[in-house]
Amino acid sequence: MNETIELLRNHRSVRDFDTEKDVSESQIQTIIEAALAGPNWINGQQVSVIEVREPGRKAVLAKAAGNQRWIEEAPVFLVFCIDFYRAKLAAEKNGTDFKIVEDLEAIIVGSTDVGIALGSAVIAAESMGLGIVPIGGLRRNPQTFVELLKLPEYVFPISGLVVGHPRTVPEQKPRLPLQATHQKEQYDAKIQMEIIDEYDQTISSYMSERTNGKDTSDWSSKVAQFYDNGFEQYAKNSSPTVKNQGFQYK
């Protein structure tokens, strides 16, 4: 197994950072270069990354993202955004209508491009021995990010990435078996419930060991609860902010 594959398979999300160690500008530049070198739709390069280091700004963003203290504690917080502002300027320069933002396709394209870039950034950072944790919680209060980071129209924050030196590294959380997620030729829906039952036991044991028995919750209950009502603040705030940023899809 080569080093890259080993790195990918050994990912951990870090939430405990050494507050005494900084991350250099050259390291961040390398991470961003790696992130933005990846494939993207029509070479439109629909991603921008905002680097945030100023403590006061990080504190506000940490609160807006759901009081995630590691945003404050780590030296760098990267905000990955869908960015169609440059495409809008390209349309103006060439005298064409800017129709893409009137369709859901813009959100699908932008989110896919952000996901590719974010994944590359994770690997680049981990290859340097840095710890990371992606932050989806910024979409709980995206308008705060829009205002504080001065995002123009057609730019929307999708995900953040905390970057720093890990103080402790958690055990790797078990994933669903490949039988569930790697389908061959066609999707097999019949096997999913049996696999979920087994995986629930795996996650419950993992959580119990990780928390000294304080938390024995399983995978399906957490997913079910979140998609019942846990996502509501995201939905309540994300959709209006997306529209306010100019994405007027029907």
250: confidence class by pLDDT, cuts 50, 70, 90: confident
The Cα 210–Cα 73 span in angstroms is: 22
The Cα 193–Cα 85 span in angstroms is: 43
175: confidence class by pLDDT, cuts 50, 70, 90: very high
CA 170, chain centre distance (Å): 19
pTM metric for this prediction: 0.95
> What is the average pLDDT across 132-149?
98
In this structure, the chain runs to a length of 250
The Cα 125–Cα 101 span in angstroms is: 32
Q: Which pLDDT tens digit goes with each residue over 12-46? A: 999 999 999 999 999 999 999 999 999 999 999 99
Q: Which pLDDT tens digit goes with each residue over 55-84? A: 999 999 999 999 999 999 999 999 999 999
Cβ neighbors of 108 (< 8 A, separation 6 or more) are none
Minimum mean pLDDT range among 144-148, 195-199, 227-231: 227-231
What is the overall mean pLDDT for the chain? 96
249: confidence class by pLDDT, cuts 50, 70, 90: confident
The Cα 119–Cα 27 span in angstroms is: 16
The Cα 130–Cα 124 span in angstroms is: 9
The Cα 78–Cα 42 span in angstroms is: 24
* For residue 1, pLDDT beyond 90: no
111: confidence class by pLDDT, cuts 50, 70, 90: very high
* For residue 161, pLDDT beyond 80: yes
137: confidence class by pLDDT, cuts 50, 70, 90: very high
